[in-house]
């Protein structure tokens, strides 16, 4: 009985440690904001346009894909290109968070071994980096919306709720993947392959109306719901209540799974790096 009580107290202590770590990491906002911004600048150092190369390359790629697939699918470019642009920009953010999450602790090995910081600091850093990239890429969205005269209204404000859910879920996903990939290095290429596969089964370059009899592909695809929660408000479409309920459920279940795993694994992280 005593051993059971001690084990329970130990689990509670570890869970409290993770929750405190998340709060403490957030309070180091000056640090992870600077580091995240530095990560974006470092990728394009000594270039003339700097991070704007992200926006330019994204715009060229979306324009080429839009013209190509609009002709292949026989879809009006005026409706298809905004759909593709918003979906592609959001997908880059989603995939960026997941891929960076796999390396969140591995890439910060030097800092973790030399400086005592909350582990979540490295997660907030990568989230901020990807949000900065999203901000740059959003310039393409604004240009396309203005060119095709996509109307906005009060319903457009729901996109901020979608972005909030994306950040909250990105936090637990990056934390969980960071710990698992540090322990099991084979997971990194596996996750990368799964993300590439998910791109093709998620309605980014193809419209969901093309599969009216196979809606289960959308219903059981979490990537679709995250993208749709942001894309639909931007395009003036109402988000289904089902999508919001699924996203909230994913958020709750994800955190309920991540916190106990993180509480068990965090103490051994430094030995895996």
CA distance 62 to 204: 11
- Dig out the tokens for 266 from the structure: 């965090």
Give which of 117, 94, 86 is closest to 196, Cα–Cα: 94
pLDDT for the residue numbered 62: 82
Per-residue confidence in pLDDT tens, the chain, 273 aa: 554 554 455 556 677 778 888 888 899 889 899 988 888 877 766 655 666 677 777 778 888 888 887 787 777 888 888 888 899 999 999 999 999 999 988 888 888 888 888 888 999 999 999 998 888 888 888 888 888 877 777 778 888 999 999 999 999 999 999 999 988 888 888 999 999 998 888 888 887 776 666 666 677 888 989 999 999 898 888 888 888 999 999 999 999 999 999 888 888 888 887
Strand intervals (E) in the chain: none
Q: Rounded to an integer, what distance in angstroms lies between the CA atom of residue 133 and that of residue 92?
A: 9
Q: By the 8 A CB rule, do 118 and 21 touch? A: yes
Number of folded domains that form the chain: 1
Annotate 217-252 with b (16+ C-beta within 10 A) or e (fewer).
ebeebbbbbbbbbbbbbbbeeebeeebbebbeebbe
250, part of any domain: yes
**Is residue 194 in a domain?**
yes
Residues 262/105, Cβ–Cβ less than 8 Å: no
| pLDDT for residue 139 | 86
Which residues have a Cβ under 8 Å from the Cβ of 14 and sit 6 or more positions away? 263, 264, 266, 267
What does the radius of gyration of the chain's CA atoms come to, in whole angstroms? 20
Q: Answer whether residue 8 is part of any domain.
A: no
Quote the pLDDT of residue 29. 87
In a domain, 51, yes or no: yes
> Is residue 95 included in any domain, yes or no?
yes
- Flag whether 58 is in a domain: yes
pLDDT in the model for residue 73: 74
Cβ-contact 202, 231 below 8 angstroms: no
Nearest C-alpha neighbor of 40 from the set 52, 28, 26: 52
Query: CA–CA separation, 83 vs 204, rounded Å?
Result: 8
For residue 178, count other CB atoms closer than 10 A to its CB.
27
Give the pLDDT of residue 186.
86
SS3 content of the chain, % helix, strand, coil (to 5): 80, 0, 20
In a domain, 252, yes or no: yes
Can you say whether the dihedral through the CA atoms of 233, 235, 241, 244 is positive or negative?
negative
Provide the residue range defining the domain that includes 219.
14-272
Report how far residue 254's alpha carbon sits from residue 207's, in angstroms, rounded to the nearest whole number. 28
Query: In this structure, is residue 4 part of a structural domain?
Result: no
Residues in the chain: 273
């Amino acid at each position: 009985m005593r051993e059971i009580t001690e084990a329970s107290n130990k689990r509670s202590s570890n869970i409290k440690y993770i929750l405190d770590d998340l709060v403490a990491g957030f309070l180091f906002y000056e640090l992870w904001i600077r580091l995240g911004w530095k990560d974006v600048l470092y990728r394009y150092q000594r270039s003339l346009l700097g991070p704007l190369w992200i926006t330019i390359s994204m715009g060229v790629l979306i324009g080429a894909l839009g013209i190509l697939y609009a002709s292949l699918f026989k879809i009006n470019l005026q409706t298809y290109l905004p759909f593709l642009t918003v979906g592609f920009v959001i997908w880059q953010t989603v995939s960026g968070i997941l891929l960076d999450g796999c390396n969140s602790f591995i890439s910060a090995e030097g800092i973790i071994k030399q400086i005592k910081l909350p582990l979540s600091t490295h997660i907030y850093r990568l989230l901020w980096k990807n949000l900065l990239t999203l901000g740059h890429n959003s310039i393409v969205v604004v240009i396309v919306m203005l060119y095709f005269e996509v109307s906005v209204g009060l319903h457009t404000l729901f996109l901020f709720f979608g972005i909030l859910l994306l950040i909250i879920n990105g936090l637990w996903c990056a934390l969980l993947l960071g710990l698992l990939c540090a322990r099991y290095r084979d997971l990194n290429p596996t996750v990368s392959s799964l993300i590439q596969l998910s791109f093709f089964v998620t309605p980014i370059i193809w419209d969901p109306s093309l599969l009216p009899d196979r809606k289960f592909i959308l219903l059981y695809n979490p990537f679709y719901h995250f993208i749709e929660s942001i894309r639909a408000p931007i395009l003036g479409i109402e988000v289904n209540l089902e999508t919001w309920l699924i996203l909230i459920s994913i958020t709750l279940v994800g955190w309920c799974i991540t916190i106990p795993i993180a509480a068990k694994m965090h103490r051994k992280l430094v030995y895996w790096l």
